[in-house]
Structure 1
Amino acid sequence: MIRFDQVGVRYDGADRPVLHGVDLTIPEGELCLVVGRTGSGKSTLLGAVNGLVPHFTGGTLSGRVTVDGRDTAHHPPRELADVVGVVGQDPPAGFVTDTVEEELAYAMEQLAIAPEVMRKRVEETLDLLGLADLRHRGLHELSGGQQQRVAIGAVLTAHPRVLVLDEPTSALDPTAAEEVLAAVTRLVHDLGVTVLLAEHRLERVVQYADRVVYLPGDGTVRHGSPSEVFADTAIAPPVVELGRLAGWRPLPLSVRDARRAAAPLRERLADRPVPPARGEATGGAPVLAADRVLVRHGHVVAVREVGLDLTSGQVTALMGRNGSGKSSLLWALQGSGPRQGGTVKVTRAAGEKTVDPKRVSAAEARRLVGLVPQTPTDLLYLESVAQELAQADRDAAQDSGLTARQILDRLAPGIPDDSHPRDLSEGQKLALVLAIQLAAAPAVVLLDEPTRGLDYQAKTALTAIVDQLAADGRAVVVSTHDVEFVAASADRVVVLAEGEIVADGPTAEVIVASPTFAPQTAKILAPLAYLTTAQVASALAATEAAR
């Protein structure tokens, strides 16, 4: 179905090609997982399948890419639309109509498909993806998982033989992600659709893959069965890391397979004390007290009289399904978002009076509570990193005792002053916005979905950043769907549902008790209280040292 024959891609001005010498054949009806670090060439590989590379992106394509016999070098994306359907990382950004039914019909209208055929395909797609009850709903009213399914349905009505998905679960809670992946798997097994799927949260998708295409970052590509490829890759999901650590062969790809192999490991660990998942929280002075916070968006109540106390040196994870009110609560705490009721009081230092961020200027609110939104680039508007940092220093009056550049060098050293902020990697953009916010020395730091688009190494670096913020005495709140990140970085977990707090407690107690939010290691080694593979490695090392 898809064939790469000695394919190379080099962009103008680049020091080296993004891809070179790629030979790859993907047969019909296969789910192919594309993995690699940020910047390794995954998006370029996916874009070459439907002709976006080089027709839209520019650059030079060498070799030959064929899809269902069509050479993409001679067929621009519009001439491949009936064969290849593409769903990007941000489904709402690609919507062009108002309702679910209209969006499903739009692609067929562009292909001049007969009305009677369009109606039949819309009905089939609604049933296939479980969207029938939503057909007349506005697209803006849907949850993240529902929007993702609509985006997939919108390309499926054209009956493509290949489906390309770029980070389809990155913005979804675990339950919504399972719904989307179940729909994708059904397309592969029931309709024989060939699926190329790029994803950083491998723990969600690896068990469904027939083949893994790994891009190590040097322009080459390795591919094979998941257990073969993940035997020595630089990135791997926790279930594979645990399998490597325990020496299991073949490597398990699902929790079920790992639990079947894990009985001897659980016996070895049963008598050992469980190492802490992270260091003890420092400090403990109260810095923020929210009481009966109420947020409405029109007639929808997003946050229902929530009370929340934050202390210095503590990392709190805010979790819950899409639409549960997490972002609305963060913006209400920061003071910039709507708040129709309740109070928020912040204390910058012991002995100072409390201040409501909503009752002061925006500049003063930043000195109380700093917030990094889901898309950090929303806060970047100047032409260079140096300009952004200088503006941050002027706005903050260097209250932190450190310049924004000094803070950035602690978070992500080596970013040149003359770099354009939007040319940075996702991890570098996040570090830059964090430096801008921290220049004002806020007592509270709020991060909204900071792991979106980050690979495992970047998330490890983010965990170190969060640890440093807590060690500096700040209260940190991380809103996220990433249960593995929470297991490694949070002291406390608060779970929201329909705008209300339904769980609040130590990380191990809250996430292990939930089948939805439990990390893979906890599921595999239960009833032992392990959350991360790092804890297992530490316990095994202690066992060996005691012999």
Structure 2
Amino acid sequence: MKKPIIEFSHFGFKYRSQEEPTLSGIDLTIYEGEKILIVGPSGSGKSTLGHCLNGLIPFSYKGEVTGSLKIAEKDTKKQGIFELSKKVGTVLQDPDRQFIGLTVGEDIAFSLENDMVPQQDMKERVKAVAKMVEMEDHLHSSLHQLSGGQKQRVALGGVMIDDVDILLFDEPLANLDPATGKYAIELIDRIHREMNKTIVIIEHRLEDVLYRHVDRIIVVYDGKIVADLPPSDLLATNILEECDIREPLYIRALKYAGCHITPQSHPENFSSLPMKEWESQLRDWFEASREKKDPIFDEPVLQLENVNFKYPSSPTIIHDISFTVYKGEMVSIAGNNGAGKSTLTKLICHFEQPNSGTIRINEVDAIRDSIKERSDKVGLVMQNPNHMISKHMIYDEVALGLVLRGVAEAEIRERVEKVLKICGLLPFRNWPISALSFGQKKRVTIASILALNPDILILDEPTAGQDYRHYTEIMEFLTELNQQGVTIIIITHDMHLMLEYTQRVIVISSGEKIADGSTVSALRDEFVIKEANLKETSLFELAERAGIEDVEGFTKRFIHQEKAVGRVWQ
């Protein structure tokens, strides 16, 4: 019988600055060698649960602890954060925050240097761990030159060098493209199987994690555990929907079609679904749909013509890119990590100047704009909220752009409170930003740009780290803004976001445009998927397995149903 390695007993925690506890009545046992997935909406307490495991609570984040937490049969309150770090290795959603060394090898070796391990032993162990995370060919590479997926592997190597018993992954997929995320899940699964580590994954992207087996899914809601079930049992219930967590898309489509999902149908394993039982129901549901024509856009608002760019003493990053975005469009830009999407954004926002080519805004040459002039036309919400935030308090951060533009105080308050409400932050308007989760910080930065009412709004991964409820609130607000005439460009790895909210996608790979057209067409093109590290959505495969040839129509039917049943939150 396996031994317990993590034991929460009547556990609770209240941050020093809060009146109510973030966690209460937590009873949870995790056994040696298990792989556990923890899910829950933003603010539910799941990240706090992770902080308790790695010792950040109570040693860094102060507050009141009730009950007990034992790791490897020892009470965590009687251990220091250093001692816990030798048992629990944490890989953060933003690997840059945990790097110490300048190169891959230096960073992986950091813990061994602190322990004064002899240099020859250190080199051998670093090489062994680097090989395990498939970074052995990059030991001398600068960390800043790595892709998002490579950075994550280095971070994993840095915690595995200590041979910890427990690996904690805090939203490992948040900043990764679909194919790299799929690889990350494969790597975690391989380490779990080959080394028998205890794995705890905290993640919003449930369907992507279920690409490989997990033993149990823990659902956290309002600071409590509301479910602790094997995936097959959980997916046969409505618990995820009731807790504002996105179910796998194929599960939701099956439920819309009236298919009866049971644990015996193994809904967590797409390939083993009993499709013959459900084919007729899926077809009937699809055929009941009504075609809706896409709107036509014909007024150019952003035009790039033969744009090229390279940094000094580096290869060309953007190769002869041309495209037009029309007023009122909502367009996705997709591509693998390192494809050039962020550089393209810098060119559009005038943070960088093209080496050649033309950029027009509202059919006027904008190459000679100042950054201030361009910022009045184009608003950018960056992927990492910490790169944008400059104030301590939420209200002050969202109001900053308006204050700098000399807007009257009464109007500032009205506009700030409006966007804070839409972004789900109004109750926290007087909070310090330091008290927020990564996802909540992201909403603050979106609100700060939305308050400025730009003509073109660019959002770099706007839903990364967001639960389903806040994802939907933000996207529905952006849709409303779009319908009022604001042109929106979304840089995203989320395939369903592209399908649900944008009829058109521009796909970038190695600095070149490889596709520009219907989102469904791009996501069914094998060449585009391979070159840009994308993947087909499970809706496509579900339609094909049900014998439905019109996959695009099936996808639109699903999206229509999503909106019809009320993905609008009160």
Q: Which TM-score applies when normalising by structure 1?
A: 0.89
Q: 1:92 aligns with which of 81, 91, 96?
A: 96
Deviation track 1:239-281 (CA, whole Å, cap 9, x = no partner) reads 33234443222251243234746534443346444655xx844
Aligned equivalent of 1:545: none
Q: How far off its partner does 1:384 sit?
A: 3.6
Q: 1:411 aligns with which of 404, 413, 422?
A: 422
Q: 1:286 aligns with which of 280, 293, 300?
A: 300
Asked whether 1:330 is paired with 2:340, we answer: no
Asked whether 1:354 is paired with 2:364, we answer: yes
Pair 1:406–1:212, CA change in 2 (3 A): closer
**Contact 1:408/1:431, CA 8 A, preserved across alignment:** no
Asked whether 1:461 is paired with 2:470, we answer: no
Q: 3-state DSSP class of the match of 2:376?
A: helix
Q: Distance in 1 between matches of 2:417 and 2:77?
A: 47
Q: How far off its partner does 1:433 sit?
A: 3.5
5 Å-filtered alignment, 1:145-164, equals 145-164=149-168
5 Å-filtered alignment, 1:195-274, equals 195-207=199-211, 208-230=213-235, 231=237, 232-233=239-240, 234=243, 235=245, 236-245=247-256, 246-250=259-263, 252-258=267-273, 260=275, 262-269=278-285, 271-273=287-289
State which drifts further: 378-387 or 465-474: 378-387
**Contact 1:167/1:199, CA 8 A, preserved across alignment:** yes
Amino acid at match of 1:535: I
**Structure 1 unmatched runs, 5+:** 348-352, 542-547
Q: Distance in 1 between matches of 2:295 and 2:110?
A: 52
Q: Distance in 1 between matches of 2:497 and 2:417?
A: 26
Q: Distance in 2 between matches of 1:134 and 1:199?
A: 28
**Contact 1:85/1:163, CA 8 A, preserved across alignment:** yes
**Contact 1:275/1:535, CA 8 A, preserved across alignment:** no
Q: Distance in 2 between matches of 1:81 and 1:221?
A: 29
Asked whether 1:81 is paired with 2:81, we answer: no
State which drifts further: 239-248 or 180-189: 239-248
Aligned equivalent of 1:487: 499
**Contact 1:17/1:219, CA 8 A, preserved across alignment:** no
Q: Distance in 1 between matches of 2:82 and 2:452?
A: 48
Q: Distance in 1 between matches of 2:131 and 2:189?
A: 15
**Contact 1:345/1:355, CA 8 A, preserved across alignment:** yes
Q: 1:26 aligns with which of 9, 19, 30?
A: 30
Aligned equivalent of 1:183: 187
Deviation track 1:341-388 (CA, whole Å, cap 9, x = no partner) reads 2111101xxxxx6140x4223332112211111123433323444434
Q: 2:356 aligns with which of 337, 341, 353?
A: 341
Amino acid at match of 1:151: A
Q: 2:458 aligns with which of 420, 431, 446?
A: 446
State which drifts further: 522-531 or 462-471: 522-531
Amino acid at match of 1:286: P
Pair 1:410–1:311, CA change in 2 (3 A): farther
Aligned equivalent of 1:544: none
Deviation track 1:409-444 (CA, whole Å, cap 9, x = no partner) reads 573363565344454565654454444434444221
Q: Distance in 1 between matches of 2:128 and 2:398?
A: 53
Q: Which TM-score applies when normalising by structure 2?
A: 0.86
Asked whether 1:535 is paired with 2:559, we answer: yes
Q: Distance in 2 between matches of 1:221 and 1:170?
A: 24
Aligned equivalent of 2:543: 525
Aligned equivalent of 1:364: 373
Deviation track 1:216-243 (CA, whole Å, cap 9, x = no partner) reads 1243453121222342222123233234
Deviation track 1:166-192 (CA, whole Å, cap 9, x = no partner) reads 011110011111221111101111110
Q: How far off its partner does 1:121 sit?
A: 2.5
Q: How far off its partner does 1:99 sit?
A: 1.8
**Structure 2 unmatched runs, 5+:** 566-570
Q: How far off its partner does 1:147 sit?
A: 1.0
Q: Distance in 2 between matches of 1:94 and 1:338?
A: 32
Asked whether 1:513 is paired with 2:513, we answer: no
**Contact 1:241/1:533, CA 8 A, preserved across alignment:** no
**Contact 1:258/1:524, CA 8 A, preserved across alignment:** no
Q: Distance in 1 between matches of 2:444 and 2:455?
A: 19
Q: Distance in 2 between matches of 1:282 and 1:442?
A: 22
Identity of aligned residues (%): 27
Pair 1:285–1:396, CA change in 2 (3 A): farther
Q: Distance in 1 between matches of 2:536 and 2:370?
A: 41
Deviation track 1:421-474 (CA, whole Å, cap 9, x = no partner) reads 454565654454444434444221111111111111111112212211221112
Deviation track 1:94-146 (CA, whole Å, cap 9, x = no partner) reads 11112222222222222344444433322322222222222222211111111
Asked whether 1:297 is paired with 2:307, we answer: no
RMSD, aligned CA: 2.7
Amino acid at match of 1:363: K
Q: 3-state DSSP class of the match of 1:512?
A: coil
Give aligned pairs, total.
532
